[in-house]
Amino acid sequence: MKVLLSWLREFVDVAASGDEIGARLSLRGFALEGIERLPDGDQVLDFDVTGNRPDCMNVVGLAREVAAAYGHSLNRRPDVAPPRSISAGIGAAATSAVRITIEN
């Protein structure tokens, strides 16, 4: 998965270089396949994210791993709104009335 270093830094206050972050995440199971250095000074980090870690197949997931690796917390979390059908039509009262029965 390719991610900009500047995007990771939007979520985590980490001063480490792209090479240092890549080395640290490689020890945590995310092999760094390469770094592309951009003309503006930013870097594209290319991590090998295995199928058993779908939580890290996005910028926030990798930022959470960087935060854990460096003992930091996330600066911010993305704003996620509920799907339109829930927020616009049904409402909380209707969704709480759903009953699920597991027979086996």
Q: Can you name the residues that pair with 48 across neighbouring β-strands?
A: 31
Q: 40 pLDDT exceeds 70?
A: yes
Percent of the chain with pLDDT over 90: 68
CATH code, 16: 3.30.56.10
**Across residues 40-56, what is the average pLDDT?**
93
CB 65 within 8 A of CB 56: yes
**Across residues 75-83, what is the average pLDDT?**
71
pLDDT band at 85 (very low <50, low <70, confident <90, very high): low
Q: Which domain holds residue 16?
A: 1-104
Q: 88 pLDDT exceeds 70?
A: no
Domain count, the chain: 1
In the chain, where do the E strands start and end? 2-4, 31-37, 43-48
Residue 94 burial class via C-beta count within 10 angstroms: exposed 0-12, middle 13-18, buried 19 and up: exposed
Q: What is the model's pTM?
A: 0.70
Q: 14 pLDDT exceeds 60?
A: yes
